[in-house]
Amino acid sequence: MIRLKTAKEIEAMRPACRISAEALRLGGEAVRPGVTTAQIDKIIHDYIVSQGAKPNFKGLGGFPGSACISVNDVVIHGIPSHGLVLHEGDIVSIDTGAAIDGWNGDNAATFAVGKVSETAQRLMDATKASLMCGIAAAQVGNRIGDIGAAVQQYVENAGFSVVRTFVGHGVGRELHEDPEVPNYGTAGRGQRLVSGMVIAIEPMVNEKSHVVKTMSDGWTTRTADGGLAAHFEHTIAITPNGPVILTQPRGV
């Protein structure tokens, strides 16, 4: 069931989304050679808690970290580790979320570790741009398929592929709510978008094939062919005046 939010409820979601965005920004600023993913996770955890919120990923389904930190061919759900050290040329996807006052925020971005390959940079740029295409399509009267079609078209025109196994979702009192928001699809199909919907649009894009595989830990999801992966996400509200990004970092 899709839970529509009133304008007052959308405003009430802003603190969770702001904290999520700031946590992601701080995590990204910590990305550099020699840092471990566990160190980045601690920075994110400590910031969220300092704001009186809680990391909504920690313990969710048994996930051990406060953020999902995924390196190179890991698409999503990378478990932070003291043994995973970042190196020049890596790319790192960080997915963070915060909960406060009964509301959730959720966002993600991929960061370069120093100088990266041309392919890695193009992949990151295309994934971020595809997210903005999806957001632009999130208009009252459009359909879920319009979002997915916009993302997929941009990604495939750039020569990459969209992950199909995992999708975006509604956000609100729960971190994951209806509806599902695929990053692929057919324009004009699917659930109609109405004012009051709050959704996370999150393209997960692979350098090569869209096929992924989940490791034995039950979380870490890699590209099946070892190609690179990137991930960008915003929580947005659908309003009569167009989509509003709730997880926009300060100063942007």
Q: What is the pLDDT of residues 91-119, one digit of tens each?
A: 999 999 999 999 999 999 999 999 999 99
- Nearest CA to 164 out of 211, 213, 200, 129 is that of 211
pLDDT, mean of residues 210-228? 98
Over residues 52-81, the mean pLDDT reads 98
Phi, psi of 170, rounded to the nearest 5 degrees = -70, 155
Cα-based distances in Å from 63 to 10, 58, 59, 122, 144: 27, 6, 5, 31, 29
Mean pLDDT, range 135-142, rounded to an integer: 98
Is residue 85 within 8 A of residue 131, CB to CB? The reply is: no
What's the pLDDT at 115?
98
Average pLDDT score, the chain: 97
* pLDDT greater than 60 at residue 133: yes
Contacts for 93 with CB less than 8 Å, ≥ 6 apart: 68, 69, 70, 71, 74, 75, 76, 78, 108, 109, 110, 111, 229, 230, 231
Q: What is the mean pLDDT of residues 48-76?
A: 98
Phi/psi at 151 (nearest 5 deg)? Answer: -65, -50
Cis, bond preceding 179 (omega within 30 deg of 0): yes
pLDDT band at 250 (very low <50, low <70, confident <90, very high): low
Rounded alpha-carbon distances, angstroms, from residue 194 to 42, 49, 112, 158 = 38, 34, 36, 30
What tokens were used for 84? 């995973």
pLDDT digits (tens, 9 = 90+) for 9-21: 999 999 999 999 9
Q: Please give the pLDDT value at position 249.
A: 74
| pLDDT band (50, 70, 90) for residue 252 | very low
Residues 16-45: what's their mean pLDDT? 98
**What is residue 60's three-state secondary structure?**
helix
Per-residue model confidence as pLDDT tens digits over 170-205: 999 999 999 999 999 999 999 999 999 999 999 999
Q: pTM for this one?
A: 0.97
Whose CA is closest to 15, among 41, 42, 53?
53
What is the dihedral sign for C-alpha 1, 234, 5, 101? positive
Which amino acid does the sequence have at 177? E
What is the end-to-end Cα distance of the chain in Å, rounded?
33
